[in-house]
């Protein structure tokens, strides 16, 4: 059996791409040159270079991954799908807290993502394990808002690949442990209760997320019964209205947290590999939100961006979440609507991002009709960002935005939102997310310059 180190394997992976999936020659030559410099002990610097190489493959990224499952089964699908495409756990928490200067609000965002660098075919040839083929990175932001204003704190970039000396671990049949270097998510076979640890000199977090629902039913299925359709098939489900507690220390300052609320996403997402030459989309991303309301109910919606920005976009699907009468599960009512991005600003690397949103939504007809008739909705949800610029740089140098927001929701339809007479607003908190808004023509030269200048080193 052939054995390879990180440089040899990533070079072989690039050379395995069909000609129609390879980027233009100058770009491809740079990817080969950079892949050849990876070292077994290169650490986070070389792991980040591998992440950038993966992204710059364009349509070839993910070539050789297995297709995602077409149905979900739990608790097995709480674990990672290591032979498939990009996958992540995303955690958001909101707290009231006390700091050195008095009362503050704190929002925490943890996004731990893995993707497969090496195809299953090449893996079989060189005898690597599934874990050997995965790169994992963890992005963490803490937003603190008080009388003196708002500030975002970022955890320094944490990128791990076992083949460049990193430390990763994935959930298995016996325990739920998802590790990216010193940072971990640990829980039960059914995830909850979940403990999140972020361990860095600049930022230390120890958070515990629980639910008053049974762990086996505290989540709801996004997409269609937990499956997202083409062109980005995968698995997607979420835990809304979680209870959160713990400790937050940033830049040596500790904050006393009051019990807060949280949301978890688990998503496996992959694009279909083209079967022929395909021009690269200039923009290929989305806008997404999650809101937990004070009445114990929740809202989520997504708009997709392709080729050009749409500041008034259709949200082709969304959900309003309310508890069943026995309180043991979520009733997910499908919504269709739109989002108006009321303000755009230049953020990191001059990437334009939205920083204020207004959502509208109404019921999406269902065939066959649901067992529990939906309430009529005519929702308007307005947002107030805690801070305008929520952008940050990921392992592959792309620039998403995660903005903590306070929200107010009004239902103008005849039925009542729990706890709110007709026309009265219900308030809440959440996050608004923007991904993939930097044009490829701006990202690609910036990423190539990074590799030419020595990558992450």
Residue 258 CA from chain centroid, whole number: 25
* Domain-located, residue 67: no
Rg of the chain on CA atoms, in Å: 22
Q: What is the pLDDT of residue 366?
A: 64
Q: Block means of pLDDT (10 residues each) for the chain, length 457 residues?
A: 89 96 96 97 97 95 92 97 96 96 96 97 96 98 94 96 98 95 98 98 97 98 92 93 98 95 96 74 90 96 88 91 94 93 94 94 71 74 96 96 96 68 83 95 97 80
Residue that has been written with the tokens 């608790």 in this structure? 75
For 395, other C-beta atoms within 10 Å of its C-beta total: 27
* Domain-located, residue 269: yes
**Same domain for 171 and 287:** yes
**Same domain for 35 and 93:** no
* Domain-located, residue 71: no
**Same domain for 221 and 118:** yes
Q: What is the pLDDT of residue 401?
A: 97
**Same domain for 394 and 335:** yes
**Same domain for 126 and 11:** no
* Domain-located, residue 66: no
**Same domain for 371 and 279:** yes
**Same domain for 84 and 50:** no
**Same domain for 50 and 87:** no
- Collapse the DSSP code of 326 into the 3-class scheme (helix H, G, I; strand E, B; otherwise coil) and give the result: coil
* 316: containing domain: 76-447
Q: What is the pLDDT of residue 84?
A: 96
* Domain-located, residue 70: no
Q: CATH number for the domain including 295?
A: 2.40.370.10
**Same domain for 265 and 348:** yes
Q: What is the pLDDT of residue 149?
A: 92
**Same domain for 91 and 49:** no
Identify the CA nearest to 329 among candidates 233, 215, 252, 230: 215
Q: What is the pLDDT of residue 271?
A: 77
β partners of residue 338: 314, 360
Q: What is the pLDDT of residue 421?
A: 63
Burial class (CB in 10 A: 0-12, 13-18, 19+), 210: middle
* Domain-located, residue 457: no
**Same domain for 53 and 167:** no
Separation of alpha carbons 171 and 237, rounded Å: 17
Q: What is the pLDDT of residue 415?
A: 59
* Domain-located, residue 136: yes
Domain total for the chain? 2
């Amino acid at each position: 059996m052939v054995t390879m180190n990180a440089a040899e394997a990533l070079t072989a992976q690039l050379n395995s791409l069909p000609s129609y999936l390879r980027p233009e020659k100058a770009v491809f030559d740079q990817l080969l040159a950079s892949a050849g410099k990876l070292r077994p002990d290169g650490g986070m610097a070389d792991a980040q270079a591998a992440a950038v190489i993966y992204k710059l493959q364009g349509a070839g990224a993910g070539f050789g991954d297995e297709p995602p499952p077409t149905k979900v089964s739990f608790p097995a699908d709480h674990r990672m799908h290591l032979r498939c495409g990009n996958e992540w756990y995303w955690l958001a928490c909101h707290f009231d807290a006390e700091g050195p200067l008095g009362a503050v609000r704190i929002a925490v965002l943890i996004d731990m993502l893995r993707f497969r660098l090496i195809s299953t075919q090449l893996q079989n040839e060189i005898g690597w394990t599934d874990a050997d083929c995965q790169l994992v990175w963890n992005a963490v932001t803490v937003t603190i808002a008080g009388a003196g204003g708002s500030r975002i704190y970022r955890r320094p970039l944490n990128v791990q690949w076992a083949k460049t000396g990193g430390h990763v671990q994935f959930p298995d049949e016996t325990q739920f442990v998802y590790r990216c270097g010193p940072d971990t998510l640990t829980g039960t076979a059914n995830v909850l209760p979940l403990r999140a640890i972020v361990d860095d000199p600049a930022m230390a977090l120890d958070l515990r997320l629980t639910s008053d629902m049974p762990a086996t039913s505290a989540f709801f299925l996004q997409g269609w019964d937990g499956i997202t359709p083409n062109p980005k098939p995968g698995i997607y489900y979420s835990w809304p209205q979680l209870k959160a507690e713990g400790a937050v220390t940033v830049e040596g300052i500790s904050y006393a947290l009051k019990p807060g609320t949280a949301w978890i996403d688990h998503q496996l997402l992959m694009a279909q590999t083209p079967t022929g030459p395909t021009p690269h989309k200039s923009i290929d991303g989305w806008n997404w939100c999650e809101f937990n309301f004070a009445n114990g109910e929740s809202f989520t919606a997504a708009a997709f961006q392709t080729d050009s920005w749409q500041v008034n976009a259709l949200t082709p699907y969304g959900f309003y979440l309310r508890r069943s009468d026995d309180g043991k599960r979520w009733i997910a009512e499908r919504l269709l609507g739109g989002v108006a991005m009321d303000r755009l600003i230049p953020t990191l690397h001059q990437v334009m991002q939205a920083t204020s949103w207004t959502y509208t939504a109404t019921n999406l007809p269902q065939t066959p009709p649901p067992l529990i008739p939906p309430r009529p909705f005519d929702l308007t949800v307005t947002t107030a960002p805690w801070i305008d610029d929520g952008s940050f740089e990921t392992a592959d140098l792309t620039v998403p935005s995660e903005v903590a927001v306070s929200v107010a929701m009004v239902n103008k339809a005849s039925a009542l939102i729990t706890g709110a007479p007709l026309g009265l607003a219900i308030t809440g908190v959440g996050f608004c997310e923007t991904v993939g808004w930097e044009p490829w023509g701006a990202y690609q030269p910036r990423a190539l310059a990074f590799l030419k200048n020595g990558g992450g080193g």
